[in-house]
Amino acid sequence: MGLPGHRRTSSHKRRRASHFALDKSVPGVCDKCKQPVQQHHACKNCGFYRGRAVVDKTRDTVRLAKRIASKRPVAAKAAPKAEKAEKAAKPAKATKVAKADDHEDHTGHDHA
């Protein structure tokens, strides 16, 4: 089995790896809706690819409309949470008052 003949220096590794970087993808423009589209992919907005409808977007819009209609209003959700928070809130406990002579009670320590 072959073994490496010489140590590969860090500069040599970095020079070799300089070509490993990925290029930024340049989005195209959909011919139908003029939205940015990833190259060689169907448009996420309208479902067209190269002038043909390849994804049925009408089904997606119907499902989205049903989902939005079935959700409760946001205000109705927030009201029970606010009531629970009021019930859970307890009055603050009285804090212990610190004595002025507390530091004098400790003997045998290196306090100044």
Whether the CB-CB separation of 42 and 55 falls below 8 Å is answered with yes
Question: Binning pLDDT at 50, 70 and 90, where does residue 62 land?
Answer: confident
Q: Read off the pTM.
A: 0.41
Asked whether residue 13 is assigned to any structural domain, the reply reads no
DSSP tag of 44: T
Q: Which runs of consecutive H residues, i.e. helices, occur in the chain?
A: 10-17, 57-70, 74-88, 102-105
Asked whether residue 69 is assigned to any structural domain, the reply reads yes
Asked whether residue 111 is assigned to any structural domain, the reply reads no
Largest CA distance in the chain: 89
* Whole-angstrom distance, CA of residue 22 vs CA of residue 80: 51
Range of the domain at 79: 25-88
Number of domain units in the chain: 1
Q: Using one digit for the tens of pLDDT, what is the confidence trace for 77-87?
A: 556 666 666 66
Asked whether residue 6 is assigned to any structural domain, the reply reads no
Asked whether residue 59 is assigned to any structural domain, the reply reads yes
The angle subtended at Cα 9 by Cα 8 and Cα 13, nearest 5°, is 80
